[in-house]
Structure 1
Amino acid sequence: MDDGGPDLRIVVGAATDVGGRGENEDTVLVTRLAAVGDGVSSLADGYLVAVADGMGGYHRGEVASRLAVNTIQEMFADDPGADSALLLKQAFRRANEAIFADGRGAGSSSMMGTTLVAMAIRGQYATVASIGDSRVYLIRANQLTQITQDHSLVAEQVNLGSLTAEEARESAHRNILTQALGHRALLDKKMPDIFELTLLPEDRLLLCSDGFYDVVPDQEMASIVIGHEAETAAKRLVDLAVARGTTDNVSAVVVEALPSRTTVKRELVMAGAERRPPSYLFPALALLGIIVFVAIVLFVLTFM
């Protein structure tokens, strides 16, 4: 899918697979955001994208992840002109309440919850919200950087220095979350985490569930995302995780920030202008040619 603001062209691709589970409890969202207004405070068009990794078993995880994604999509549709960061915070809180209520509803015997990473992109600006251990990465100038922070027991231990990153990947407790949607009636006041980015041409962003990054190293992620168009990259990443034997569902959304067609056209025109000789050079060369011709004629007449 292809869209964007005046200076960037945003291209998005997504893929999800059941992986090593019996059912897919992940939910992926890719939807367009229409431009709002036409004045100084107007908002450019763009995308709302998300990955949610549900948990609970007996289809409860699937219900939780779908509730989370549907809630943020509905809130952006109902109030398209609102500030993205504020809207994401409100949507996460409303989703948490809905999932918690559903999990405690009549006839429901199992608690359910979900991680959620969501990103609203308008023009060159991206706003990210996160809870749980699904991730958002930025690939810029061939360097991959994790934007979000994992809300997990092992991540806290790594931050405290009691575990290395490698030990965390191998830990039996790596799937224990410290924050998620639906586990409490009210989210902590600090949740969700919010990150705001200004995108540059050739930036790539990757949203993914933990079933993916557990089996695909960072450098390999970056190489695939950089080397392919968004849709192809997302599918290749998911296929690779499945081939590597992931024991979880696996989902990926890839976002490309490319120079807009107008920008590319303008740069081509400017490059052509730089290669073209200055306009004053042509009359000067013509005059020089006339002078040389007259000099040759005079020389010939003088010595004949």
Structure 2
Amino acid sequence: MRAQFEDVHWTGHESFLVRTFDLPRFTVPWHFHPEPELTLILEGSGDRCVGDHLESFRAGDLVLLAGNLPHYWHSHAHAPSSKARPSRERARAVVVHLREENFGRSLLSLPEAVSWKKLLERARRGLAFEGRTASHAAKDLERLPDKEGSHQLLALLGILQTLCDGTADTRPLAGEHYLPACDDHAADRVRRVYQFIYAHLADPIGLDDLARAAGMSSAAFCRYCKRVTGRTPTRLLSELRITQACKLLTDTSQSVSEIAFASGFQSISNFNRVFQQIKATSPQTFRRQHGRTH
């Protein structure tokens, strides 16, 4: 359940991709990618996880994610249907990916695009849209796959503007300190550290490993990490490992001890202590409150 890097397959020279999914269930693994993502759930229900935030979703769920923010949508298991009345529930969604070089250094550098740039900056924690904003944007987003070329681009920009104007209907998802708030240069460096951690959560990770990922000395990285993330490297690593453990507690039937070692903890006692510090509850209680039936 370590966060996997997902290669968004671009088909040509487009600046964004619009895709529709019609599946029996959402089963995408815990993953991340550099491209910002806008997702509208048309049908289905289940659990949505963004960073360290876990909650239920249903049809109408509308979420904007900045690049490199780990996430998944997992459908609830359906009760077995009878032959007379087969289950017709599906997992349907419209998903938009924005190419970083176009919706970053190009379009968003225009002075007229400042509100869209701020929107994507706020999406570093993930943004859920509700109320009239979600309703209006969802109608346009559902029609977006039927448009082409400049008509599709103009429609997408209109959707982004609707989201910009709906501040009162916006709710951040991941915790305030889950991802650092820093300038672009610092963000790129910290992203490399996050990507290294996501790829090696179950492995022993030392301070020197994190410093190498950041391209810094160990002493310099300690000071840097505290300044840009508000946390020590040890605390940062522990929080991401506990987030990993929460996914395993909710999504698998593995024992708590198996989950502790799969999340990179060297002892059960240390795992239980750190879990209690970060989540203010025990792993067993967390599983009872959030776990699925397997």
* Alignment TM-score, normalising by the size of structure 1: 0.25
Q: Larger Cα Rg: Structure 1 or Structure 2?
A: 1
* Alignment TM-score, normalising by the size of structure 2: 0.26
Name the structure with the higher strand share: 1
